[in-house]
Structure 1
Amino acid sequence: MAQDFDRALREGLADAIGFVGGALAGWGLGRLLGVDFIASTDWNAQQMGALVLIVVGCGVGRWAARRVMLKDRP
């Protein structure tokens, strides 16, 4: 049971860290490209592209965090 709890805890932490870190990375990339989705009140193609960067960042961050944190321990 302790192994199940440990794995569930690592999965939850990996998801949380991955989602937040990935979203921040996607937002930062959008800002580097000149589009700040968070600060804008417009809804145009540039803003939608910036939103896509944030969403893709969430997915990639979650994937990367799970790869790192859920490696089988010897």
Structure 2
Amino acid sequence: MSSARRLLMEGLSDAVGFVGGALAGYWIGHLLGFDIFSSGYGPSSLAGIALVGLGGGFGLQAARRWRASRLPRDKE
């Protein structure tokens, strides 16, 4: 795979993983009753924001693990 194509694949998979994870975190928070868009920074809003951040991080790590699993392995 060419360098440009590899970098494009890396960037796109990271972006999809991060955004997908952040959306999953948002919807989990929404189902639990946390509103990230409420006025002020109350406990409910902060918990929702934390879930979005954690979801984005987990999604990014999942995308990187998926990408690593697709690499050819050396046979020892």
Q: Mark yes or no: TM-score above 0.5.
A: yes
Which structure is richer in relative contact order (CA contacts within 8 A, separation 6 or more)? 1
Give the alignment's TM-score, normalised by structure 2: 0.81
- The gaps in structure 2 that reach 5 residues or longer are none
Q: Please identify the structure whose Cα radius of gyration is greater.
A: 2
Consecutive unaligned residues of structure 1, counting only runs of 5 or more, are none
- 1:1-74 pair list within 5 angstroms: 2-38=1-37, 40-70=38-68, 71-73=70-72
Percent of counterpart pairs with the same letter?
42
Query: 2:61 & 2:42 partners in 1: Cα distance?
Result: 29
Deviations 1:21-65 (A, max 9, x none): 011000001001011213x12311221111110001111001111
* Matching residue's letter, 1:8: L
Could you list the structure 1 runs, at least 4 aligned residues long, displaced by more than 3 angstroms after superposition: none
Aligned residue pairs, count: 72
